[in-house]
Structure 1
């Protein structure tokens, strides 16, 4: 039932850790998901900055930020300033180009606290890669949720279990947050053989679950086979993210740029280097320069079953 297990690579970003899951050497995408990070969990003392990401550009993707704990302040070149808090969604479609920053609000720095959450990049379908950029924010009450028998489930984006989230996705996909009490058993969204999505995966953010006799620990992602219809059992109280969808085709990544065209990546690089992409109003005094070469992550551990 499991095609591949991926162990996220833990990286210290100066006070908090990120578990980088996708892309992996043996699995670059799951449906349209081309990038997946687990931020934290990390606790910050009063006066310590949690997140301080200077303005930087994107093309050809949507970013999806979802928090379990803490707060991040988003600013972008569209003029949007929006804090994201637990259970909410910040969805930014870059399309032909957008610039944004992610920082900790000064009031949060003064008081300290915890940060724990997920950030995903969703590759746009070919016909939408050059769409106009836009941003949307969704409160928890706007997102379909279910709670019964020790299972809390929230549909963060896309379609699953007969429900549809308000998040404005561009292709068939799903992204689900589960909170599972110990002993709870539940099924992921259906696979291709049952009329569901072609590609699916299970990520454990906290606790431990069992899938088809295999134990998944925090920081591990299991890519499910297309025809599998497994049951997921929580061996401890667990936080689980379920993700997947239909493939959008081969994509190239260079730094923060995603495209089906190498020439388009070169144009984005030239635009950023020449200052042709506007910075966010209210956060335009600094930016991340174009790297000479994009940061290369060490290979992640992957192993087939």
Structure 2
């Protein structure tokens, strides 16, 4: 008889051998997925007999994790701001640091929001879920990413308030369209930093969403250079940044006419979001 506890112990050992830090949580998530039980109930069923089909599925999941595929991609879901989002290889794996944008956004009222480079839709759709009277548009260059965002919008029951558009930054929008809030987690990893990324990121996440190449600032230049066209006079812009990019992105915002520019730190104490408002249109 094979039990979940036996499979779990073997999996933890395998994952540790290939260099995965703290493998036990990963193994537990994968086992719960294979057994099709809620993670909170896994301990209750660990000593039950596992079917051959469940064991085979779990072995396949562990093989994928040994190949450094992210857990979220294997199980197809990632929790973000208290909700589960569909995740595939076509989108970035939503990260806890990005939740800071949602915190800052909902700290003030808004009726309309634009999310540039929406990916899975985790920012846009979380904002619409938190603000039930708001509407929003998500733009992404990847049609595959937009398919994922569409699934998430339906799953979160906000599809009627979310419009998803394919294109580069502001290009798909009507010239007269304006928003109370513009948010973005654009690609910002420098060309030199790409080689140092963990295999889970470098080998499995879309490079288009990770880096613009060069100094990592090109996306900010393009967004900030046109933001005045699409932001209402009292509007705000929130940009996720790399932890060493605050000075450069802040300078770009001030040069574009934003009078109030603040840098907010994540839970690790690193610069993570630039908030800009008070746009001077003179």
Is TM > 0.5 for Structure 1 vs Structure 2?
no
Q: Which has the higher helix share?
A: 2
Q: Which has the higher strand share?
A: 1
Bigger relative contact order, structure 1 or 2, given CA contacts below 8 A and separation 6+?
Answer: 1
TM-score, normalising length: structure 1: 0.27
Which one has the largest radius of gyration? 2
TM-score, normalising length: structure 2: 0.29
